[in-house]
Amino acid sequence: MSNNKLKFLFAIVLTAVISAGITFAVVQKGTGVSGAERTGDDPFEKLYSTYDTLQGEFYQNTNEEKLVDGAIKGMLQSLGDPYSAYMDQEEAKGFNENISSSFEGIGAEVQESDGKIMIVSPIKGSPAEKAGLKPKDKILKVDDKSVEGMTVNEAVMLIRGEKGSKVQLVIERDGVGQLDFNLTRDTIPLETVYTETENGIGKIQITKFSETTGKELADALNELNDQNVKGLVLDLRQNPGGLLDQAIAMSDIFVPKGKTIMQIENKNGTKEVQKSQNDSAVNVPVVVVVDNGTASAAEIMAGALHQSAGIPIVGEKTFGKGTIQTAKSFEDGSSIKYTIAKWLTPDGSWIHKKGIEPQHKASLPAYANLPYLNPEKELKQGDSSAEVKAAQQMLQALGYEDIKTEGFFEETTKKAVTRFQSENNLSQTGTIKGETTIKMLELLQAKLKENDTQMSKALEVLNEQMK
């Protein structure tokens, strides 16, 4: 990376941010549904008539605000678009906090998919990530309350809560079935960019695209430049996306001037082409790592860097979100967010529900997909459940290979648990609970970090480029 170019990197980012549109911006304000003359041709006559009828004839007193909110909510739901929704004051506040500042909750991006609330990606360091929630997990219940038929915002308001409070989720995972998760809510931090170096290689992990991410990336690149790194790995795994302007600004750092970053296809079919405005500030080899939790703005960046800067992609097929949203706020603090356009990769491809295929495929070890075990729940001899099977698979991954993994806690499992407890200075109860569960999870996470096969593949590809 050139020192002269990186010297002005932050200014480049700010310029791109100011000049670009954003995915989830509050673009305008209004007072609600505009009035119209009530004529026979008025398309809102049926709506007005229903409102008047309920106000005058419903057997109980009606709430004017709730009736209007319900009508607006129904309009958004009728679009059949999981990314368009009405948000009341509380929901709108939470939505804006998620973009611009830290908030309290479990730290997972969710969306509606085929009538169900689905995890897009957990946020790095969040309770959701630590608990083992995965992309494509479907949330069935929150604290024993079914979320079937709820909007995303309604479900989010149930899941969110004060730091230190607990929430129980019942989720459905493909190939596994139903799983229970007990999480303790926490503050979800502002920081979105993390760096480390290894053998002269700089690793940059971007966890989401918030208002500060462009500056964080600029700072990270300057820091790595000072360390004279020979190559970069850009880690976009488990990144659910966020602000479009940040994705454009950050792609601008890597994509040569004049090259296409993305295309925006509007309702009438016209296309706006977003091109890089600055000379690339990075002149060392780069590799991008993605997985099925890489979505939206993260996919924009991955697609731009590959197609317009020749940067290879390593990992698994991405999530596949190819639409752009904006928001309109009302005077009472409520708002609507709605889809305004498709976005296309530089070559014109629409990746919606398809994702981006990496050129170098790499998956994590099978034990990376094992579900979280609740330390408060005891697993003992005689039990038979999905949790027992998961615990057996964890022990097997940790080197206790003689254990059976059939989901029945029998004598062999008890002996393996007792040996595990002995080797880790734990009380030798022969049951899995509390410190034993926590230690198993900790050791498995440490092993996964040591055996990050996707990162290993990325480094292999990067080293080939550096030759």
Which superfamily does 366-450 belong to? Answer: PGBD-like superfamily/PGBD (1.10.101.10)
What CA–CA distance (Å, rounded) separates 357 from 402?
37
User: Has residue 357 got a pLDDT over 50?
Assistant: yes
Q: To which residue do tokens 């689905």 refer?
A: 118
Tokens standing for residue 210: 């918030």
pLDDT band at 292 (very low <50, low <70, confident <90, very high): very high
Average pLDDT over residues 424-449: 93
What is the per-residue pLDDT across 231-249, written as a single tens digit (0 to 9) for each?
A: 999 999 999 898 999 999 9
User: Has residue 30 got a pLDDT over 60?
Assistant: no
What is the sign of the dihedral through the CA atoms of 394, 400, 405 and 409? negative
CB 134 within 8 A of CB 369: yes
Average confidence score pLDDT of the chain: 86
User: Has residue 140 got a pLDDT over 50?
Assistant: yes
pLDDT band at 37 (very low <50, low <70, confident <90, very high): very low
Torsion, Cα of 297, 303, 308, 313 (10° steps): 120
Alpha helices in 228-347 (DSSP H): 244-252, 297-309
Q: What is the predicted pLDDT for the residue at 1?
A: 55
Q: Is 263 a catalytic residue?
A: no
**Higher-confidence position of 114 and 146:** 146
Average pLDDT over residues 354-375: 91
User: In the chain, what are the domain boundaries?
Assistant: 3-23+190-322+342-364, 102-188, 366-450
Among 325, 334, 393, 454, the one annotated catalytic? 325
pLDDT band at 358 (very low <50, low <70, confident <90, very high): very high
pLDDT band at 271 (very low <50, low <70, confident <90, very high): very high
What is the per-residue pLDDT across 67-117, written as a single tens digit (0 to 9) for each?
A: 999 999 999 999 989 889 898 887 777 666 554 445 678 888 787 777 788
> Which one-letter amino acid corresponds to residue 57?
E
Among 296, 334, 392, 454, the one annotated catalytic? 296
List C-alpha distances in Å: 240 to 62, 236, 294: 40, 9, 6
pTM of the model: 0.77
Least confident of 15-19, 201-205, 440-444: 15-19
Q: What is the predicted pLDDT for the residue at 262?
A: 97
Among 203, 321, 337, 389, the one annotated catalytic? 321
Q: What is the predicted pLDDT for the residue at 39?
A: 53
Which superfamily does 3-23+190-322+342-364 belong to? Answer: 2-enoyl-CoA Hydratase; Chain A, domain 1 (3.90.226.10)
Q: What is the predicted pLDDT for the residue at 109?
A: 78
Q: For the chain, give the number of residues.
A: 467
Q: pLDDT > 90: what percent of the chain?
A: 56
Q: What is the predicted pLDDT for the residue at 96?
A: 65
User: Has residue 151 got a pLDDT over 90?
Assistant: no
pLDDT band at 2 (very low <50, low <70, confident <90, very high): very low
Helix axes 152-159, 89-100, angle to 10 degrees: 80
**Higher-confidence position of 175 and 161:** 161
Q: What is the predicted pLDDT for the residue at 177?
A: 82
> Which one-letter amino acid corresponds to residue 202?
G
Average pLDDT over residues 34-51: 71
Q: What is the predicted pLDDT for the residue at 122?
A: 82
102-188 fold: Pdz3 Domain (2.30.42)
Residues contacting 334, CB < 8 A, separation 6+: 69, 86, 87, 88, 89, 91, 92
Q: What is the predicted pLDDT for the residue at 98?
A: 55
User: Has residue 178 got a pLDDT over 90?
Assistant: no
Q: Is 321 a catalytic residue?
A: yes
**Concatenated DSSP letters of 161-209:** --TT-EEEEEEEETTTEEEEEEEE-EEEPS--EEEEEETTEEEEEE--B
Q: What is the predicted pLDDT for the residue at 102?
A: 52
What CA–CA distance (Å, rounded) separates 344 from 324?
10
